[in-house]
């Protein structure tokens, strides 16, 4: 998993029907100091994440499991909302 | 998933027979400002995407699910056509 | 697998219920000289790793296997605690 | 999938028995202008590709599907030979 | 698959029990000229590879297949020992 921030959404009316019902969130990966790092990706929300929230996202088969859609063409999902990042 | 633009096609007459029937699209990954970022990849189209369109693509097993070809050697698929990218 | 160091934890009360019971550890990947290399990721602990310990982590489906949670949206897991790194 | 060029072969007599019968090709990934980009990888040939040919390769589970060897430890396979790259 | 060199081993007495019986090798990925390239990873040996040998390694599910341990949290395995690298 990685830490990220929801920075917006993508609208797509023509899409795989199995993506219907999932908001497509733009996720900016963050480092532990919550600074942007790496490329923005698109993930489905599974925990009611809102724009500007710091979240946990997962990739690959884990994303379909998070979305409870094992047959959907999903490879990134938001699976948690961060309360705090506790460094040593 | 990632945002990308279809920048062309690849023609291959000698190929895995399970790839037959799927157009092989050249996809330039884009950042949220629709600027090119990262290497061009080849994905199969599953939503009627045309050249020059901004699309959503997915990777890995998700790509075979998108193509409804679980036994084909596909690892990238176009699964949506972007209407708008809404940043905060 | 990769070598990493546990540098902290992430707290998330709103999360996929299948993540409950697993501590979410912040892992800094290390090179063989135990210098930080690459982006910090979040993994679940499966071997009782503590903060500041040098550990072995695994990715993808292997992480769910390590966590004994094949249906959880986990893509990184700590699966060993390093005693020594023996270079030639 | 990605575009690549076959730049050579690897010989390994001591190897996993499930790799026997597949030529191990050295693949240089290419960009759309057929310039080298990224690290050379080893893939099995599934379409009769020869050295110096421009090919399409696939990764992960897709590679085992391409090789029709779902139980072999293969993670890259050549699945097409490029006739033409048609940019917009 | 990729070319790599075994540069050492990792000892971990506290680890996932399914990793027991597999030597954990430190692998330095190599380019085709056998120069180091990219980060060192940990893989299990499946072909009797020794330290300082040039080997072929595989990733992901392919690694578990190579190790004949489909339920172990393994994501990298050595599956061949290189006799020669034949460039065009």
Q: What is the pLDDT of residue E83?
A: 98
* Cα–Cα distance, E5 to E73 (Å, whole number): 22
Contact B12 D63 (CB under 8 A): no
pLDDT tens track for E25-71? 999 999 999 999 999 999 999 999 999 999 999 999 999 999 999 99
**Direct distance between the N- and C-terminal alpha carbons of chain B, in angstroms, rounded to an integer:** 19
Work out the mean pLDDT of chain D and round it to a whole number. 97
The shortest C-alpha distance from B30 to chain D (Å) reads 16
Locate E43 and state its tokens: 């893989």
> Residue D88's pLDDT band (boundaries 50, 70, 90)?
confident
pLDDT value at E11 more than 90: yes
Q: How far apart are CA B82 and CA B2, in angstroms?
A: 11
Q: What is the pLDDT of residue E77?
A: 98
Tell me, yes or no, if B46 comes closer than 8 A to chain A by beta carbon.
Answer: yes
pLDDT over 90 (residue C70): yes
Q: ipTM of the assembly?
A: 0.96
Whether residue B47 contacts residue B63, with contact meaning beta carbons closer than 8 Å, is answered with no
CA-angle at A11, arms to C14 and D88, nearest 5°: 130
| Per-residue confidence (pLDDT) for residue E88, from 0 to 100 | 86
Q: Output the pLDDT for position D85.
A: 97
pLDDT along chain B (88 residues), means of 10: 98 98 97 96 97 98 98 98 96
pLDDT, tens only, A42-80: 999 999 999 999 999 999 999 999 999 999 999 999 999
Interface of D with B in 14-43 (CB under 8 A): 29, 31-32, 37-38
Residues on chain C touching A48 (C-beta within 8 angstroms):
14
Flag whether residue B7 sits within 8 Å of chain D, measured between CB atoms.
Answer: yes
Q: Which domains does chain A have, with CATH numbers?
A: 2-81 (2.40.50.220)
Contact A16, B47 (CB under 8 A): yes
| Chain segment C44-56, per-residue pLDDT in tens | 999 999 999 999 9
Question: How many Cα atoms are found within 13 Å in the side-chain-facing hemisphere of D66?
Answer: 32
Q: Give Dmax (Cα) for chain D.
A: 46
């Amino acid at each position: 998993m990685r830490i990220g921030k929801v920075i917006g959404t993508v609208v797509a009316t023509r899409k795989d029907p199995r993506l219907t019902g999932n908001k497509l969130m733009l996720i900016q990966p963050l480092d532990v100091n919550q600074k942007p790092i790496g490329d923005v990706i698109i993930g489905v929300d599974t925990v009611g994440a809102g724009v500007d929230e710091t979240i946990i996202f997962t990739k690959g088969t884990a994303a379909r499991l998070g979305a409870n859609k094992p047959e959907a063409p999903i490879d990134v999902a938001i699976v948690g909302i961060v309360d705090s990042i506790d460094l040593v």
